[in-house]
Amino acid sequence: MNITSKIDRRAPLFVAIILCLHITVAAQQSIPLITNVPGRNTISLNGSWQVIIDPYETGYYDYRFQPRGDGYFKNTQPQSPSDLIEYDFDSSQQLQVPGDWNSQDQRLLFYEGTLWYKKSFDYQRKDRKRLFVYFGAANYVADVYLNGEKLGRHEGGFTPFNFEITSLVKDKDNFLVVKVDNKRRRDAVPTLNTDWWNYGGLTREVALVEVPSTFVEDYVLQLRKGSLDEIQGFVKLNGATAGESIAVEIPEAKIKHAVTTDSKGYAQVSFPAKLQLWTPENPKLYEVVISTPDNSLSDRIGFRSIDTRGADIVLNGKPIFLRGISIHEESPLRGGRAFSEEDARMLLSWAKELGCNFVRLAHYPHNENMVRLADEMGVMVWAEIPVYWTILWDNQDTLKNAQNQLGELITRDRNRASVILWSVANETPVSEPRNVFLKTLIDSARALDQTRLLTAANERHYADQTTQVIDDPVGRYLDVLGCNEYVGWYDGLPEKADGLTWKVTLNKPLIISEFGADALFGKHGGKAQRWTEEYQKDVYEHQIAMLKRIPSLRGMSPWILTDFRSPRRPLPGIQDFFNRKGLISSRGERKQAFFVLQKFYKELMTEGK
Ligand code: GCU
């Protein structure tokens, strides 16, 4: 057992930047975001919740559209027969949490609006314990109340948030009420127009998190950028004063490192560590234990370095090729938003069956089960925030909202070895306000995490009939260039790819983050007949041949693993409100193109790629 407490001179700046951004994220949330909730002492509030569908927001506004003092959050019961109360959670319908409302009740399939959730619970209060209520996600705006008191509001449908309820909780008959509104707004993130279903509700787990009065709020333990044998990071205690002692242990490696907190509860961490490095072939995870005198928290963390070298993406010092597929957070067989470990295991197993070592989790942060399972299964991850298509670039609140979602994503997942890329945008139109908006996001991400690569799914344009150019101005701020292209579907016929050349102006790794074509499983015909499996197969064959000719190509994530619901796809008998670009149907059936990509990935694997 070796004990090290050497202070690393480089750490002060790194921690100062983290501290100020941590404050930014916290400011947009009433209190700091607690990380590694799966590793904590929790009481699940999952299960049946009573709900009230409220399209006119009668539970929030009076007839003058002024916020009411006696809204549904009061959960008022009539005290006498003459009392006039026009709602009653306890005799209202129930929905399952976690779960979107659209796939649980046919009447709500297309519903966009407000829906109220109520959950009653008892809780035995304890000395020197604090209590938080934690939400894995709620789409899109959540107003949260406990026992009639407002706890706060969260905006953003795909990232976690929590509120402290220590002073408000009672031993008996607590009622937690959440107003969830998934109405789309022009100034929101995403904005009005998306090609995915706007599933509403408490789409991920809800839990009570019990912690000691001083607890480990957040931490980062990763290899220092550019190092293969030095761990660097921090531990943040909540409720601590200066001089609190913390131990960071990796028992399997016989490492125990002692640090102390500064006045803000922060402790810098930096120590040498000769560890088995995480790779897709050997996704080694170590149990890491962070303990204070009266508390300990453990996590399973993989250690790997990810970097670029010219046009190469380098994992633990070795160039890699990302054999990927794009995935939406939808449970194909059950329908609706995916949230469980089973959902994640099914999606990632299908990706591995394809021969993938990489997945693009599009277009928003997926649930924590997905990235923790990717850690275990050895699948590298592209994580993204929904800055999608044409956002309001000049709107400062929109920027803050995007920054907050990015901050919450990074705070939740920056100890996940599988996550190698943060993406700040998808198919956004080049303009100065847009460039500034994305640059700000890129800077925010770099300040929160220096160890991972920054990218975005950008577009390309034609220099002439046959030359495609990738020269998005934001590319200069990115580590890896992402590009979506639909040669053979939105852009010409499949064979068009044969005559195209690619001009990539920057010497950086390129990932073709989308290509593909729609096909209805079981629909067959000539390869020039759209919507058939033969057409989709043909697109893949021409695409793969074309992409092989791009010198700086270091990865791809074709669009998409499975068919998924989209309100933009009404074509009867074929789409029926599904985007059919999946290689697997919504019933789990593999289309012909699935095997084309699988064969290509097998070839790459035999070439050691
Ligand atoms: C776009 C977009 C996807 C969309 C896909 C399609 O590139 O990024 O969200 O689903 O094209 O049109 O199928």
What digits encode the pLDDT tens for the residues 549-605? Answer: 999 999 999 999 999 999 999 999 999 999 999 999 999 999 999 999 999 999 999
Strand, helix or coil for residue 134: strand
Mean pLDDT taken over the chain: 95
| Span 255-280, average pLDDT | 97
Q: CA-based angle 316:319:325, to the nearest 5?
A: 100
Cβ-based neighbours of 584, under 8 Å, separated by 6 or more: 332, 350, 561, 562, 563, 590, 591, 594
Give me the pLDDT at residue 15, please. Answer: 47
Give me the pLDDT at residue 32, please. Answer: 86
- Distant-in-sequence contacts of 13-16, Cβ < 8 A, 24+ apart: 14/232, 14/268, 14/450, 15/234, 15/266, 15/268
Amino acid at position 268, single letter:
Q
Give me the pLDDT at residue 332, please. Answer: 86
Cα radius of gyration (the chain): 25
Give me the pLDDT at residue 18, please. Answer: 46
pLDDT band at 181 (very low <50, low <70, confident <90, very high): very high
Question: Element (H or E) spanning 144, and its range?
Answer: strand 141-146
Determine whether the shortest distance from the Cβ of 578 to ligand 1 is under 6 A: no
Determine whether the shortest distance from the Cβ of 163 to ligand 1 is under 6 A: no
Give the mutation target among 559, 562, 566, 578 for probing the ligand 1 site: most ligand atoms within 8 A of CB.
559
pLDDT band at 1 (very low <50, low <70, confident <90, very high): very low
CA-wise closest residue to 365 among 335, 408, 323: 408
| Span 411-419, average pLDDT | 98
Whether 20 has a pLDDT exceeding 70, the answer reads no
What does the pLDDT look like over 507-552, one tens digit per residue?
A: 999 999 999 999 999 999 999 999 999 999 999 999 999 999 999 9
How many whole angstroms from 74 Cα to the centroid of ligand 1?
Answer: 42
Instruction: For 536-556, give the DSSP string.
Output: HHHHHHHHHHHHTT-TTEEEE
pLDDT band at 240 (very low <50, low <70, confident <90, very high): confident
Peptide bond between residue 363 and the one before it cis (omega within 30 degrees of 0):
yes
* CB 567, CB 576: distance < 8 Å: no
379-413 exposure pattern, b = at least 16 Cβ within 10 A, e = fewer:
bbbbbbbbbbbebbbebeebbbbbbbbbbbbbbbb
Determine whether the shortest distance from the Cβ of 194 to ligand 1 is under 6 A: no
Whether 28 has a pLDDT exceeding 70, the answer reads no
| Span 118-147, average pLDDT | 97
Give me the pLDDT at residue 60, please. Answer: 98
Whether 25 has a pLDDT exceeding 80, the answer reads no
Strand, helix or coil for residue 594: helix
Determine whether the shortest distance from the Cβ of 195 to ligand 1 is under 6 A: yes
Q: By mean pLDDT, which of 3-12, 100-109, 302-311 is the weakest?
A: 3-12
| Span 461-484, average pLDDT | 98
Give me the pLDDT at residue 30, please. Answer: 57
Whether 2 has a pLDDT exceeding 60, the answer reads no
90-112 exposure pattern, b = at least 16 Cβ within 10 A, e = fewer:
eeeeebebbbbbbbbeeebbebe
- Which residue, judged by its Cα, is nearest atom 10 of ligand 1? 195
| Span 461-477, average pLDDT | 97
How many angstroms separate the Cα of 495 from the Cα of each of 514, 573, 580? 18, 27, 21
Strand, helix or coil for residue 527: coil
Looking at the DSSP bridge assignments, the partners of residue 247 are 258, 291
Q: CA-based angle 524:596:602, to the nearest 5?
A: 160
